[in-house]
Amino acid sequence: MSALAALCLLLMQTGALGFGIGFLGGKSLTHQQITESAILNVTVQVCRALASAEGSGFTLPPQSLTAVSVAAACRASKSSKSFYKAISSIRNKNRQVDLTHFYYPEFHYDDEKFAEGRKIVTEGLSAVKASNKQGNFEAAREKLGKILHTLQDFYSHSNWVEMGNKIPNSNLIRSDTSIGNIAAANRATCRSCDGDDCTNNILEDVLREKILTSGYFTLNPFSTKPRGKCSHGGALDFTSRIDPKGGINKDTFDSSHGHLHQQAANVAMAATSELLEDIRLAAGDRQFLQMMGITKGKALCFVIDTTGSMGDDIDAVKNVTSTIINSKVGTEDEPSVYILVPFNDPDFGPLIRTKDPNIFKKAINSLTASGGGDLPEMSLSGLQLALTGAPSGSEIFLFTDATAKDEFLKSTVIALIERTKTVVNFMITKLLGFRRRRQTDNNQQQQQQQQQERMVTAGAQLYKTLADSSGGQAIEVTKSQLLEATGIIIESSSSSLVTILQATRSPGKTENFTFTVDESVRNLTVYVTGSSVPFTLISPSGVYQDSANKTGSLIVSSRSVGNFQTLQLNTQVGLWQINMASTNPYGLKVVGQSPIDFLFDFLEASQSPLGGFDVTRNRLRAGANGTMMLTITGTESAIVTKVTLVQSSGSGEVNGSVEAQDGARFLVHFDSIPSAEFVVVVKGQSSSAASAPFQRQSSTSLSASAVTVTATDPNSDLEPGTPLLIPFSLTTSGAGGNFSVQATNDRGFTLTFPSSLFLETGGSTNGTVNITAPAGTTSGTDVTLTIEAVAPGSADTNYIVLRLTVLKTVTDFTQPACQLLSLQANCSENCSSSAWQLSVQVTDGDGGTGIDLVSLKQGNGTLNTSLAYGNGNVTLVSYNASCCSPDVELAVVDRVGNVGSCFYTVQKTAVNDNQTAPVTTTTNTPQTQPVVSAATNAVQSFLLCFSILIMFVI
């Protein structure tokens, strides 16, 4: 059996606990599929609602919903990659619960842990909402994935479906209601199965009385279960061998209750949609789409040195910002979010993140250059903050004229670059010299100056190293050239920018590079960095043009600033060649705009008893074999012909064997992970039409290591003022000794950790990081913790990056309530010429956090809200609509995201008696009776009368 076949078999065998978690679910539905279907379902409805609110057209995807078709329906085709990435992140976190929280029954609604399971879901839901509110979408997605796992398991592991329920238990996503009648600890719920037949093992009285139960589970052959209780069932579950024997789970078609698998999966999907819908109402439609990665353009992210000498540079940034905002706002490439991180010395930050271009412009325009003290500045601290605050896969521009004072953050910054796959461009002014001190004859000063120049060279090298490993550029220009250089590079950036080829050679060498251009590529562009780097281009049709020739047919336009040249090529499909002829160091980057790109994650064998594979969160082991999960984005399906790990130095490569999965997903196995820095190159063919082959390359370079740092996400959030302990373990496959440990975070929270740990050769040990968020930290703040270890006497380092969310204990579990003040209908037979008005008071009750948002769930009239005079806790809502739109449903949200909903209608009935009193129905007990006034007196002379039906669905 090949290694790949063995892997696939292992992957298929996973999923004994919960809907399958493997990558290959067979015919049964997995957590990932359930999650993805629900996300696509809700997202498409959000886009439909937005289109209808804006009066723009909407076309439902013709066939099945996919990331590509939904992004297109949302008129955001360019974001299909980030949409896909968001879905993957949620799916992966969902899977991970079975791998990292296997032994905790409450995470799976096993062992009748209903209250505990709901607590995980509702607390997590509060964290998701708090993160969204702070714009921390990555944290929101991670938490969402985790709680969806537990929510979905309820439907597979409890007897909800056996009771005949076809809709979700809505109480599982609220904390102020009853989940249902939970079986008492001593109540028997199951009898033994009839051999292998478990169709009737739940006791009839339990089903008849609608008593909730769930299966017990243990891997331990010596443990028991309470008398008379149901088991989970399956080969791994030892409780299912104890009377009552057999199980009730519906994880797959082959499970004990496999006959109900499809039904359980359908309800789990509806429950997932319901939870997403709740998040949507709390966040608002636009923000919900942002959480899902559906945005117009990408982030525009500046990290700017504001020390004394940066005046000219800051002016250039102001100019570029205005230019970009003026040229991109309103286009498909309008930045989705603007991020600014200033740094100085000793201060840096804060990070400013806004969707409003005018707020960003104002923030940039208010920057002034001052201070800084000695020469080096806190550039890496600023960069660290940007790397954790920008969406993953962003492009960051860092402006400085000085070296880094905080070089100790180098490995942290590289870890964050590798994890987030962010591109970092350094815009360095005052070529080579940085800030050169004035010439002097004084010997001592001369020595100082020489020392400083050595430092400057090393400092420039640090920026170059970081740029290279991220796939960005280190552009060195004079202050007067900065504007032009920045303009060129930022103007060409687009959310559909793809890397076709990238290489750096230092020292330079004469080398011929080839690259394949497919027909989806637009605006083929070549960047060359380095001084005096001649080259020759050869087009697919064999036409030559060298860099000195400005009049050939291949180069449409070229610009050159400082050490940086950009060439727009005449985009031709086929195999191109570029022959570099230089012994000076150079960088070469070929990019284009195309919807087709790829996402990848390496996988590692999980520590869970289920086996299976987890997404690797740190560096791979050099020389070991490795498996990659690869997805081609921007196309419904594709063929991948070749996946190669190419060493960045150009001195070697490893080819993978490719195994196609569903849609555009692939597993790729490599025999040996290169020990030197490498990039991923993918070649294939989009199966839309008879297309030409494509080539794409990862911008980020990856490194392998003999050291491994592992840690699992903590079970609880970070409560302000309370320390959180994060255990980690450290392993080496190489020599032992004292390994130095460094833990850093981007918020300056207090950390304690061992500064070094001793390891035997090939050994492993554990440590703990203790992190405390200051009391008073805002809920929803996220903090990125990086734990790094360096092998003794070497540069071999590895890391783990954890994202934590600060969450104050939530005490407000109740939804805001509505009270009707007045409803006036002036509706005539011709509905379009008449209107109705509603006035409602919304409050969040005693101990509530207050009203945050009132929005329309249904109805296309005009909504206005204002605070009641003298009472900040009361929001007055007025609504005006045409009589053709007789229904309105308000979503009322408090500050911690509890969502209530209020429904009103002026229902048209053919009643002759115009004295008909308004009808009030409530589905919940309102605190006060709604007051209806002056509803009918104005319409008495009209032919028809309307009775008014008021419903509270709170």
Ligand X SMILES: *[C@@H]1O[C@H](CO)[C@@H](O)[C@H](O)[C@H]1NC(C)=O
**Applying CB under 6 A, which residues contact ligand X?**
38, 41-42, 45, 269-270, 273, 277, 319, 322-323, 483, 491-492, 510-512, 522-523, 579, 593
Which residues, numbered 673-732, are part of the site for Ca ion (CB under 5 A)? none
Q: How far is the CB of 656 from ligand X (least distance, A)?
A: 26
Task: Give the interface segment with Ca ion, choosing from 574-582, 709-717, 848-856, 864-872 (CB under 5 A).
Answer: 848-856
User: b/e per residue, 430-467, with b = 16+ CB within 10 A?
Assistant: beeebbeeeeeeeeeeeeebeebeeebeebbebbbbbb
- Chosen residue from 321, 699, 814, 834 binding Ca ion by CB under 5 A: 814
Q: Kindly state the smallest distance separating residue 342's Cβ from ligand X, in Å.
A: 20
CB closer to ligand X, 42 vs 668: 42
Nearer to Ca ion, 204 or 846 (CB): 846
Does 18 bind Ca ion (CB under 5 A)? Our answer is no
- Strand 851-858 to 871-882 pairing: unpaired
Quickly list DSSP for 861-882.
SEEEEEEETTEEEEEEEEEEEE
Q: Which of 894, 899, 903, 947 binds Ca ion (CB under 5 A)?
A: 894
Closer CB to Ca ion, 711 or 892, in the complex: 892
CB of 380 to Ca ion, least distance (A): 13
Residue 346 interacts with Ca ion (CB under 5 A)? no
Tokens read off for 255: 């499970």
SS (H, E, C) 766-820: EEEEEEECCCCCCCCCEEEEEEEEECCCCCCEEEEEEEEEECCCCCCCCCCEEEE
| Distance in Å, CB of 34 to ligand X, minimum | 9
Answer yes or no whether residue 812 interacts with Ca ion by CB under 5 A: yes
Q: How far apart are CA 227 and CA 817, in angstroms?
A: 44
Residue 273 contacts which entry, ligand X, Ca ion, none (Cβ below 5-8 A, type-dependent): ligand X
CA 730/CA 758 separation, integer angstroms: 10
Which among Ca ion, ligand X, none contacts residue 812 (Cβ within 5 to 8 A by kind)? Ca ion
**Pairing assessment for the beta strands 862-868 and 871-882 based on DSSP bridges:** antiparallel
Closest of 574, 568, 556 to residue 519, by C-alpha? 574
Which listed option, ligand X, Ca ion, none, makes contact with residue 506 (CB within 5 to 8 Å by class)?
Answer: none
Q: Indicate which single residue of 350, 373, 623, 774 sits in contact with Ca ion (rule: CB under 5 A).
A: 373
Does residue number 848 form part of the binding site for Ca ion (CB under 5 A)? yes
Question: Which is nearer to Ca ion, 293 or 382 (by Cβ)?
Answer: 382
3-class DSSP state of 161: coil
Smallest separation, CB 74 to ligand X (Å): 15
- CA atoms of 372 and 893, how far apart (whole Å): 45
For ligand X, give the closer residue by CB, 288 or 753.
288
Residue 517 three-state SS: strand
Residue 311: CB minimum distance to ligand X, A? 15
Q: Could you give the CA distance from residue 143 to residue 153 in angstroms, rounded to a whole number? A: 16
Interface with Ca ion includes 844 (CB under 5 A)? Answer: yes
- Among residues 32 and 593, whose Cβ is nearest to ligand X? 593
Burial class from Cβ neighbours inside 10 Å (0-12, 13-18, 19+) for residue 301 reads buried
Measured from the Cβ of residue 829, the count of other Cβ atoms closer than 10 Å reads 11
Torsion sign (Cα): 819, 825, 831, 834: negative
Q: Which two tokens stand for residue 99?
A: 């791998």
> Is the previous residue joined to 61 through a cis bond, with omega within 30 degrees of 0?
no
Instruction: Work out whether 614 is an interface residue with Ca ion (CB under 5 A).
Output: no
- Report yes or no: 589 and 640 within 8 Å, Cβ to Cβ: no
Q: Residue 38 binds what, of ligand X, Ca ion, none (CB under 5 to 8 Å, by partner type)?
A: ligand X
The distance of closest approach from Cβ of residue 953 to Ca ion in the complex, given in angstroms and rounded to an integer, is 17
DSSP-derived letter for residue 106 is G
Q: How far is the CB of 375 from Ca ion (least distance, A)?
A: 6
Binder of residue 152, out of Ca ion, ligand X, none (CB less than 5 to 8 A by kind) = none
Residue 814, binding choice from ligand X, Ca ion, none, Cβ under 5 to 8 Å by partner class: Ca ion
Q: Which residue from 898, 901, 936, 947 is in contact with Ca ion, where contact means CB under 5 A?
A: 898
Residues near 765 by Cβ (< 8 Å), separated by ≥ 6?
A: 729, 730, 757, 758, 759
Closest to ligand X by CB, 321 or 394: 321
Q: Among residues 784 and 898, whose Cβ is nearest to Ca ion?
A: 898
Interface stretch with Ca ion, choices 680-688, 786-794, 847-855, 908-916 (CB under 5 A) = 847-855
Residue 852 is a binding residue for Ca ion (CB under 5 A): no
C-alpha 660/C-alpha 373 separation (Å) is: 57
Helix, strand, or coil (residue 135): coil
Q: Is 411 in the site for Ca ion (CB under 5 A)?
A: no
In the list 15, 357, 372, 530, the residue contacting Ca ion (rule: CB under 5 A) is 372
CB of 895 to Ca ion, least distance (A): 8
Q: How far is the CB of 266 from ligand X (least distance, A)?
A: 7
Q: C-alpha 952: how far from its chain's center?
A: 36
* Residue 40: both structure tokens together: 């696509």
For residues 308 and 736, which CB has a smaller minimum distance to Ca ion in the complex?
Answer: 308
The listed partner (ligand X, Ca ion, none) that binds 270, CB under 5 to 8 Å by sort, is ligand X
Residue 123 C-beta: closest distance to Ca ion, Å: 15
Q: Would residue 793 be called left, alpha or beta, if left means φ above 0 and alpha means ψ between -120 and 50 degrees? A: left
Nearest to ligand X of 173, 198 (CB atom)? 173
Q: How far is CA 51 from the centre of its chain?
A: 24
Q: Between 492 and 920, name the residue whose CB sits nearer to ligand X.
A: 492
CB of 452 to ligand X, least distance (A): 32
Q: How far apart are CA 384 and CA 838, in angstroms?
A: 50
Residue with tokens 């250039």: 316
Q: Which is nearer to Ca ion, 771 or 899 (CB)?
A: 899
473-502 residues in contact with Ca ion (CB under 5 A) are none
Output the smallest distance, CB 438 to ligand X, in A: 28
For the beta carbon of residue 207, count every other beta carbon within 10 angstroms.
16
468 binds Ca ion (CB under 5 A): no
d(C-alpha 372, C-alpha 378), whole Å:
9
Distance CA 753, CA 182 (A): 44
Give helix then strand counts, H and E, for the chain: 15, 45
357 binds Ca ion (CB under 5 A): no
The residue range among 273-281, 574-582, 617-625, 810-818 that interacts with Ca ion, by the rule CB under 5 A, is 810-818
How does DSSP classify residue 900?
E
Specify the residue, 160 or 399, whose C-beta has the smaller distance to Ca ion: 399
Q: Which residues lie closer than 8 Å to 362 by C-beta, 6 or more apart?
A: none
- Minimum CB–partner distance for residue 523 and ligand X (Å): 4
**Min dist. Cβ of residue 542 to ligand X (A):** 10
The tokens for 909 are: 């009935």
Distance CA 845, CA 851 (A): 10
CB-based contact 884:914 (threshold 8 Å): no
Binding site for Ca ion (CB under 5 A): 345, 372-374, 377, 812, 814, 844, 848, 894, 898
